[in-house]
């Protein structure tokens, strides 16, 4: 699927930091049961790649890699079943690497110059990161003036309370958030809580 299609499946893309690959299948199952199919597994732990591979076995899950920084990250993730990639920033080298292996990429931007570089490479679906620190909804609204083509997935410091402020913007298709899979709930194996949080996030309107 193309990045824009993935962004339109639900108002929230879970951003997952997984310390134990044994949690991968029950976590993905809980999120999919709650209605969140697009799952971003960040490359921040030693268990990330194994977790991605395990999650691909969960029916309905669309698994991607987050915190992808270079072509090696993209290839390793693709080899472990990742179907899309999310990066905290953008470089032409990263864009070329994603294009070379056919990996849909959602690159991070924080300002006008970042957006212009992404547009130069044909990328119109962008991650606004770190959203709360980079100006929040008011910044994204302002960026919508000169940049009418891009659409955004703001990520960073967003929770259930602040998400509606972003989703109310015309240039926002979804938000990225970790609140739907709290670390304490994952460690405790409280999968019902995670399913409930995922289901609650579907009530957010765009």
| 96 assigned to active site | no
| 75 assigned to active site | no
Using CA atoms, how far apart are residues 77 and 45, in angstroms rounded to an integer?
13
- Among candidates 148, 146, 206, which has minimal Cα distance to 12? 206
2, 5, 22, 40: the catalytic one is 40
In sequence order, the 6+-apart residues with CB closer than 8 A to the CB of 14 are 31, 36, 38, 39, 40, 176, 177, 178, 180, 181, 198
- Among candidates 186, 193, 206, which has minimal Cα distance to 15? 186
75, 93, 127, 161: the catalytic one is 127
Catalytic residues: 40, 127
């Amino acid at each position: 699927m193309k990045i824009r299609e993935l962004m339109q499946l639900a108002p929230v893309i879970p951003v997952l930091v997984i310390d134990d690959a044994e949690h991968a299948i029950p976590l993905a199952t809980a999120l999919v049961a709650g209605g969140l199919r697009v799952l971003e597994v960040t490359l921040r732990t030693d268990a990330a790649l194994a977790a991605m591979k395990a999650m691909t076995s969960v029916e309905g899950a669309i698994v991607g890699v987050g915190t992808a920084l270079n072509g090696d990250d993209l290839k390793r993730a693709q080899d472990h079943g990742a179907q899309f990639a999310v990066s905290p920033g953008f470089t032409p080298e990263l864009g070329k690497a994603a294009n070379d292996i056919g990996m849909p990429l959602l690159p991070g931007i924080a300002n006008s110059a970042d957006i212009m570089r992404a547009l130069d490479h044909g990328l119109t679906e962008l991650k606004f990161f770190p959203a709360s620190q980079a100006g929040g909804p008011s910044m994204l609204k302002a960026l919508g003036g000169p940049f009418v083509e891009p659409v955004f997935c703001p990520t960073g410091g967003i929770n259930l309370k602040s998400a509606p402020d972003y989703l109310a913007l015309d240039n926002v298709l979804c938000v990225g958030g970790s609140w739907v899979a709290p670390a304490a709930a994952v460690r405790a194996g409280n999968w019902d809580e995670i399913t409930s949080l995922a289901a609650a996030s579907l009530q957010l309107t765009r």
